[in-house]
Structure 1
Amino acid sequence: MQISRVLIADDIEKECVDILKNNGIEVTIKTKQKEEELLETLPQFDAVIVRSATKITDKLLRAAEGKLKMVGRAGTGVDNIDVGAATQTKTLVMNTPQANSRSAAELTCTLIVSLPRYVPQAVATMRDGKWERKAFMGEEIFGRTLAIIGLGRIGLEVATRMQAFGMRVIGYDPIVSKQQAAEKNIELLSLDEIWPQADYITVHVPLIKQTENLINKEVLGKCKKGVRIVNVARGGIVNEEDLVEALNSGQAAGAAIDVFVEEPPKYRDLINHPNAICTPHLGASTIDAQLRVAVEVAENIVQFNKGNPLGILNREVLQHY
Structure 2
Amino acid sequence: MLMLNQTDLTPVSFILNGIPGLEDMHVWISFPFCSMYAVAVIGNCGLLYLIYHEDSLHRSMYYFLAMLSLTDLVMCTTTIPKALCIFWFHLKEISFNECLVQMFFIYTSTGMESGVLMLMALDRYVAICYPLRYSTILTNPVIAKVGLATFLRVVLLITPLTFIIKRLPYCRGNILYHTYCDHMSVAKLSCGNIKVNVIYGLMVALLIGGFDILCITISYTMILRAVVSLSSADARQKAFSTCTAHICAIVFSYSPAFFSFFSHRFGGHTIPPSCHIIVANVYLLLPPTMNPIVYGVKTKQIRDCVIKILLCSKDLKSHST
Question: Which bracket does the TM-score occupy, shorter chain normalised?
Answer: under 0.3
Greater helix share, 1 or 2? 2
Greater RCO, CA 8 A, separation 6+: 2
TM-score by length of 1: 0.23
Higher strand share: 1
